[in-house]
């Protein structure tokens, strides 16, 4: 196999690898975008839940003001608010997990971009090398053509002894 053919094949392989790396960047970007959206949604869920819990507490205690309240009713309210507190903690944990996932996805995106950059650099190097070989081959062909023309015209070639 000629050097030029080998370089062309290697360049084609690296171009395919670069294409796969580009596709990896696109997938990683989409995953990072989804993770960011999920993180925002989780944070919004915590905020919404807290607002509803505060409104519910205010309404429940507002209804009790100025009235005699039985202990059973207070225990019921306490249980309801403890349930709301547990749900708040669960939502906060979900938001924390979503934030960690977002950071992990951003890290994966950075790695995919670096891989793509390296692949592009490898293809560029082979493109330059192929271009140099083409130029060198063109100069050789030109010199050979000139030599052939001189021989056809019958001009003597300069001897190596001179």
Separation of alpha carbons 144 and 140, rounded Å: 6
* Residues 119-134: tens digit of each pLDDT: 999 999 999 988 888 8
pLDDT at 1: 65
* Per-domain boundaries in the chain: 3-152
Q: Do residues 88 and 50 make contact, with C-beta atoms less than 8 angstroms apart?
A: yes
Which residue shows structure tokens 């807290």?
Answer: 50
* Residues 69-106: tens digit of each pLDDT: 888 888 988 899 999 999 999 999 999 999 999 999 99
Residue 80, CB-side half-sphere exposure with 13 Å CA sphere: 13
> How is residue 162 annotated by DSSP?
-
Separation of alpha carbons 90 and 73, rounded Å: 26
What is the CATH T-level fold of the domain 3-152, as seen in this structure?
A: Helix Hairpins (1.10.287)
């Amino acid at each position: 196999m000629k050097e030029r053919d080998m370089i062309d094949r290697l360049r084609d392989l690296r171009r395919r690898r670069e294409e796969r790396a580009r596709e990896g960047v696109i997938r990683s970007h989409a995953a990072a975008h989804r993770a960011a959206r999920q993180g925002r949604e989780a944070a919004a869920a915590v905020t919404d839940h807290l607002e509803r819990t505060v409104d519910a507490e205010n309404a429940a205690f507002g209804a009790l003001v100025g009235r005699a309240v039985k202990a059973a009713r207070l225990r019921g309210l306490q249980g309801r608010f403890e349930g709301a507190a547990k749900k708040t903690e669960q939502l906060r944990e979900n938001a924390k997990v979503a934030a960690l996932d977002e950071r992990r996805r951003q890290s994966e995106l950075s790695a995919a971009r670096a891989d793509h950059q390296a692949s592009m650099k490898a293809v560029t190097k082979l493109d330059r090398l192929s271009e140099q070989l083409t130029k060198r081959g063109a100069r050789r062909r030109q010199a050979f053509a000139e030599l052939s023309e001189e021989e056809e015209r019958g001009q003597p070639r300069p001897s190596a002894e001179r």
